[in-house]
Structure 1
Amino acid sequence: MEGPSLLEELDTPALVVDLDVMDWNIERMAALARQAGVRLRPHVKTHKSPWIAHRQIRAGAAGITVAKLGEAEVMIEAGITDIFVAYPIVGEPKLRRLERLLNEVDLMLAVDSVEAAESVAQAVRRSGRATARVCIDVDTGHRRLGLPPGAATVELAERVARIRGLEVVGLMSHAGHLAAASSQPALAEAARRAAEALVETAETLRKRRLAIEHVSPGSTTGAAFEAQVPGVTEIRPGTYVFNDRNTVERWAASEADCALTVLTTVVSRPSPDRAIVDAGSKVLSSDPAAGGAPSFGLIAGRPDLKLERLSEEHGILSVDPAGGELRVGDRLRVIPNHVCPAVNLSDVLYGCRDGRVVREIRVAARGRYR
C-alpha cells in the first residue's frame, strides 16, 4: 500500500474503518445466525466492497444480497457467485444484462408484480436456462415494495409460479419501518410480527403446493429478533458490518461498535458557538437520523459538539462553550447517520488497526446503481 501509514497523516475528509471493530461485527452477526439456525446473506450495499464481502463469506455467510445488477456484476467479477438480487429488474437494458449474468451464475431474483416477473422470464428463456429462482417481495410494514402478507401475496406468488421460466422459491421483506419504533421493546415486537407474517404467508403457500424454501426478512435493527422467529430461514442485514448512528439510535449497536467514521478537520472557528469542518453533504450524505434525532452525525467522544447543518463542502458544528477546547486544525471523527450512502460517496476506505492505515479498501461497486 502506498501513501500514509499513520492515521494522523491521512488527508481529510477520509472514511476510516477500524478493521478490528469491523471483524467483530462480522463475527457477531455470523454467530447470531448460527445460533438461531438460519442462513446469513448480508446485503453488500453498505460496503460495496468485494474484499469485505469475501470476509463475510469466510465468517459463515451463505452468500450475499445486492440491490442492483451493477453490484452483482462487481461481485461476480470478484468470484462471488451465490447472489440474491433483492430488487425488481425492469427495462430491456437491464434484462439484457440479466440474460448475460444468468449464463455465468445462478442468481436468485426478487419480484413484486406479474409484469416484472413476465419480463424477467423472457430474459431467463433467452439465456437458455430452464428456470430462474425468484422470491416474492412482501410488504410487512415498510410500505415500499411488495404486496401485504396473506391473500394478496399468495395470489401473486401463484400467478408468478405459472410463468414459464420462473420457480418461486421464497418470500423476502425489508423491515425499514422499524426505524420509527419508539422503544427497544416496541422494535422487537414489530420485528417479530413482521417476520411472523412472512412465515405465515409461506406456510399458506406450502399448503397450496408451492415449495417455499427461503423465508428471508432483512434489516440490521431487527435481525436479532427476526432470526428467532420459527420458520425464518435466512436474514439479510447490511449495515451491521460498520454500524452507524441509526443502528445506535435503534438499539442495535453501541457507539463502540461503529467501525466506520469520517475523519474530518476543523477549518474555521468563526464564533465561540460555531465551528466548521471539511466534511459536508458530499461526504456524509444528508440523511436524517432515525427517530428524529437532531444533527447529521455523532462526533465520536465529543458530546459537546453537534453537527447541526451541512452544505456540500462544509459541516457546521454547534459548540457548547462549556465543553472542551476546539481549534482550527483539530481533527474529529464523525459517525454518519446512515453509513450506506456515505460509503457510496467515496472511492476508497482506509482500513486501520491500532492507529495505522494497513490497507486501502476500494469501494468497487460505488455508483453501480443500475
Structure 2
Amino acid sequence: MKVYELDTPAVLVDVDLLKANIEGMAQEAARLGIKLRPHAKTHKSPEIAAMQFDAGACGITVAKLSEAEIMAGYGIDDILVAYPLVGPAKLTRLKDLVRKTKVTVSVDSAAVARGIAEVGETIAVPVPVCVEVNTGQNRCGLEPGRATVEFVKSLAALPGIKVTGLMTHAGHAYQARNLNELRQIARGEAFLLADTCELLRKAGLPVDEISVGSTPTARFMAEMDGVTEIRPGTYVFNDYNMVCLGVAEVHQCALTVLSTVVSRPAGNRFVLDAGSKTLSSDPSVRGRGYGFIKDCDCTVTRLSEEHGVVEAEVEVVIGDRVEIIPNHCCPVVNLTDSLYLRKGQEIVGELKVRARGMNR
C-alpha cells in the first residue's frame, strides 16, 4: 500500500530513520562507555524495545508499572520503573513482576521505600531501588548533597531493598533557549549527582549507578563526568520540539502524522482531520503552534478535539494529504492504536502500540 492510500489520521514511522536513530544513540553511548537505558514511554512497543536491546541497550525505563508489565510479558528482562509506586494494589503487582524479571524502582521518600521494602521481604530478595534526585526540574526528587545522603542512610534500616544508584531527569532542559544552555544543564545534572555520589562514598554508602535522563541533554553525554547511564526516550523518533531545541533536524524525525485537508473555508485558512485527539495538545517549546507541516512549511495554528486549523496562505485543496511532525511524539503514540511502518512511500507493516493507555 502507498502511504497516501491510508485512511487518516494515521501515525507513520519511517523504518530506516527509526533504525538510524536507535543505532546512533547506542553507538555514541558505547563509544563513551556509558550504559543506555532508553525510556520506553515514547514508543510503548516491545518490538521497538527489542530493537534497542539489539543495538546495545542495557535495559529500558518505563513511567508506569503497567508499561513494565506489558514489556515483561514480551520478554524484556531489565526494567527501571522511574515513578513512585504508592498503594497496596501497585505493591501487589510489583511483587508479581519482580518474580518474573529484573526490576529496579525509583524512590524519593521513606513512605515509598517502606512499601517496596515490604515486597522485598515477602519474596526474600531485596528489590533494587534508585534514589531520585532533583537537579532543577522541581518535580520529584530529593535535593542533592546532604539531604540525599541522609535519606540513603535511612534506607539501610530496610532489609527488603538495595540502593543501586542515583537518578535524575533534567526536564527543565526543554526550556533551554539555546544549545549552550542545554550544555550547562547537562553538565549541572551530572555534577550534582557525581558530587552527591562522592558524599555517599565518604559516608561508607557507595552506589554503582549515576543515571540521567532526557534526549536534549543526552547530546552532551561526552561532557557529563561521572555518569554511568543515560535514559533518553524521544530520540527514537524525534519530534518538532527536538527540532526547535536544535538537537535534531526535520529530516531525522521518524514519526509523522498523515492528515487530510477536510475544509478550505478561506484563502488563509484550512482544516485538517488531526486535532488534539491525534496530535495531543502539547505546545511547542518555542510557542510555534501544534506541529510542523512538512509539505507546507508551516505549523498547525490551533486545535480542537477533531480539527487542526492552519492559518497560512498555501496552495492546498480539500482531499490533499499532508504530513505533520508533532510537537511531542510520546503522547501522540499513546493516542493511537497502531504505528504504520513505511519505507519511502510504501507501507511495509503495522505495529500495534501494545502499551497504549497503560498509565496505572
Q: 1:58 is matched with which residue: 51, 54, 58?
A: 54
After superposition, residues 1-370 of structure 1 pair within 5 angstroms as 5-126=1-122, 128-290=123-285, 292-303=286-297, 305-320=298-313, 323=314, 325-370=315-360
Distance, in Å, in 1 between the alignment partners of 2:154 and 2:274 is: 49
Supply the AA of the counterpart residue of 1:40.
Answer: L
Supply the AA of the counterpart residue of 2:232.
Answer: P
> Aligned with 1:221: secondary structure?
helix
Distance, in Å, in 2 between the alignment partners of 1:365 and 1:271 is: 40
Unpaired runs of at least 5, structure 1: none
Supply the AA of the counterpart residue of 2:104.
Answer: M
Supply the AA of the counterpart residue of 2:144.
Answer: P
What's the CA shift string for 1:16-71, capped at 9, x where partnerless?
00010111100110011011110000000000000100001000111101111100
What's the CA shift string for 1:183-217, capped at 9, x where partnerless?
11111112111111111111111221223111000
Supply the AA of the counterpart residue of 2:92.
Answer: R
Q: Is the 8 A contact 1:32 1:224 kept in 2?
A: no
> Aligned with 2:316: secondary structure?
coil
Distance, in Å, in 2 between the alignment partners of 1:227 and 1:262 is: 33
Unpaired runs of at least 5, structure 2: none
Distance, in Å, in 2 between the alignment partners of 1:121 and 1:306 is: 49
Following TM superposition, by how much is the alpha carbon of 1:6 offset from its aligned partner in structure 2, in angstroms?
Answer: 1.6
Deviates more, 1:220-229 or 1:9-18: 220-229
Supply the AA of the counterpart residue of 2:317.
Answer: R
Distance, in Å, in 1 between the alignment partners of 2:219 and 2:156 is: 31
Following TM superposition, by how much is the alpha carbon of 1:313 offset from its aligned partner in structure 2, in angstroms?
Answer: 0.3
Distance, in Å, in 1 between the alignment partners of 2:170 and 2:351 is: 29
Following TM superposition, by how much is the alpha carbon of 1:162 offset from its aligned partner in structure 2, in angstroms?
Answer: 2.4
Distance, in Å, in 1 between the alignment partners of 2:247 and 2:194 is: 23
Percent sequence identity is 49
Q: Is the 8 A contact 1:38 1:227 kept in 2?
A: no
Q: Is the 8 A contact 1:217 1:226 kept in 2?
A: no
Q: Is the 8 A contact 1:40 1:63 kept in 2?
A: yes
Following TM superposition, by how much is the alpha carbon of 1:228 offset from its aligned partner in structure 2, in angstroms?
Answer: 3.1
What's the CA shift string for 1:318-337, capped at 9, x where partnerless?
113xx4x1110011101111
Distance, in Å, in 2 between the alignment partners of 1:130 and 1:77 is: 21
Following TM superposition, by how much is the alpha carbon of 1:227 offset from its aligned partner in structure 2, in angstroms?
Answer: 4.6
How many pairs align?
Answer: 360
Deviates more, 1:253-262 or 1:149-158: 149-158
Following TM superposition, by how much is the alpha carbon of 1:230 offset from its aligned partner in structure 2, in angstroms?
Answer: 2.0
What's the CA shift string for 1:88-108, capped at 9, x where partnerless?
110111000001111111211
Following TM superposition, by how much is the alpha carbon of 1:124 offset from its aligned partner in structure 2, in angstroms?
Answer: 1.9
Supply the AA of the counterpart residue of 2:358.
Answer: R
> Aligned with 1:73: secondary structure?
helix
Q: TM-score, normalised by structure 1?
A: 0.95
> Aligned with 1:74: secondary structure?
helix
Q: Which runs of 4+ in 1 moved over 2 A?
A: none
Supply the AA of the counterpart residue of 1:207.
Answer: K
Q: TM-score, normalised by structure 2?
A: 0.98
